[in-house]
Amino acid sequence: MLVSHTRAAVSVSFDEENLVSPTGLVPVMRLAEDVGLHSLADEWLSVPTDKGANAGLKVAALVAGMVAGADSIDDMAVLRHGGMKKIFKGCYAPSTLGSFLRSFTFGHVKQLDAVASRFLTGLARTVPLFGAVTGGLHFC
C-alpha cells in the first residue's frame, strides 16, 4: 500500500501549551507517588554535589520519561512538551537528568537497586493484584 499524496510538512512539533500527549502518565506517576518513589529515592540515594539535589524528583522524572517511551537522555524532552509543566513538578531538562546519571558510581547503582526493591514491595502492598501476579515475592 502506498500513500497517495505528498507530505504537507517536513517536520512537526507538539507545542500547544494546554495539551499533554502521554496522558497515561498521570495515574502511573500518582501511583508512584502514593507508593513513595520520591521519598525512597531521597532517603536511599546519596549522589554528591548539586547533581544529586532533588534525587527523588529526578528519579521520578526518569521513570516518567521511560513510561512515556523515552529510550535516551534526549528523549526525556517529552516531559517538557505541551502542558506537562502544568501537571507535574520536576520537569527537568534532559541535560540535567543526564548530568544526574553521569555522576553515578557503582555504589549509587546499588543504592538505586535498594530504592527499586523497596518500591516493588510498596507496590505489592498498595496494589494487591500486583502481589498475586508476582507470586507474592517480597524484597527487603
pLDDT, mean over the chain:
84
- pLDDT tens column, 44-55: 999 988 888 999
Q: What is the pLDDT of residue 135?
A: 55
DSSP state of 139: -
pLDDT at residue 129 greater than cutoff 90: no
- pLDDT tens column, 51-74: 889 999 999 999 999 999 999 999
pLDDT at residue 81 greater than cutoff 90: no
**In angstroms, rounded to a whole number, what is the distance separating the alpha carbons of residues 112 and 37?**
11
For cell 526493591, what's the residue? 117
Task: Using a cut of 0.85, tell me whether the model's pTM lies above it.
Answer: no
Tell me the H-state helices in the chain: 25-35, 37-44, 55-67, 84-87, 94-102, 106-126, 128-133
Calculate helix-pair angle for 106-126, 37-44, nearest 10 degrees. 150
- pLDDT tens column, 91-128: 899 999 999 999 999 999 999 999 999 999 999 888 87
- Mean predicted confidence (pLDDT) in 11-16: 65
